[in-house]
Structure 1
């Protein structure tokens, strides 16, 4: 294997404009990964915005951290793997000690043309041919073969022998082969960060809804709380919760009403007023649409359940999904 001079693997450059990147399409059969450096590190990390001139895998072995791009933040948990592309501004930080391994590499030492001095590399992007790509962020497990391969790769590289380096390069090729997926199925780190940012914004709107559940909140007020335009807010809100803002607010109000129905001193009219409905008739109609029974029947079943020590009615609301947002 031809030996290439080392290259500084952590290079802070002035973030280039995206339009200035040169795009190279790499046929799958020409993937010949060349490792620049592979190591394990432990500590508290605070790497501010930077760009790198090669590709990098980062595997968080223990602890928790946060990966940032200009699209937002991605929380990193134990055994999470990142695939970072060249000339993409990003940062990496942890508030407590964590351990991670990092592998810096070129997918092919001739594409882009190798330049020893990193400052002479111009912004570029490598795209895989045949519609394939590597996911920007994914979770591995200690039992996962890829997890073990990364650990062995670093051990092979750290041995410092020619055979160890050859083994590390071969192992990296196997890892890349295992990670390649059809492009349509592959979210990038940037898209993951964007989804997390959307989720954070919608949480702000939900907090406003919960705090003012009985008040006539407008779509404009909710969008403003989320920091989004009205049209974009409606799209993101439904993507995150599965409901329109209006429907979600109705369900929050019905959830509050379920609790109030347990108070026999409150009339249906009073409960309707306390949960933001125009009148008791509108309240009863919406309650029946969501729960399948009128509020009076719900109260009767609730009180009967209390007296018998059992409950045959359901309660709850439409929470923000704990799983990944729908794509």
Structure 2
């Protein structure tokens, strides 16, 4: 039986979240490179673009940016301890010449055997996050080592996606719609309004948007909402009611359910987890006003 643990660490690299969960996760996508490592509890699996990815002590799950994925676990079953890394591609491109923001598809496969070194680094990071007695610098050292080893072990410069490098290479109509989405990050934004902004029929807009980005407009907006919510929860004391309202949810309960369905963690637990590391490790408050997103 796992003792319930939730820890969240955010920085320029992205975010690292350690949590115990026995709830399913709906299909969603991220702008970041996403790595999932089991650190205890029950085995399971994810689906990455409908390809089954085992989630066990001896495997690692690897999700490229904007690749839809989900976890169909049975609600209320045995819990798993998950170490989830969300690594910003811009940050990666600055650390490695082999990773070009938005263009490179780092991982050729959604799952692979985990190496002894990466297993050790993941367990060390999880234990350090739980103990909360290390400095931000030390926590970052372990985390950066884990990210670097994961990339050197599993990334391939030959595997490229069809995703464009930046908005300058996108179809100008989709670029216009995405600019509006980034300026109005909210669940209230209607897809038909975005199609009108793009100057396209609804069906053509959905088709072209998916062709350009790899995901639907709704999944794209959901990803923007989750990023802003996580950043705001970790770095401000804004009430959940206010965060829900700003992101276009009609009730705080709808926002809480949305956040948990996409992350396996409730908004209040995520906030407490981030605060615990800040208080114990001296991790500074972040700027939650920067609604950064690719494209």
Mark the structure with the bigger radius of gyration: 1
- The two structures have a TM-score, normalised by structure 2, of 0.39
- The two structures have a TM-score, normalised by structure 1, of 0.36
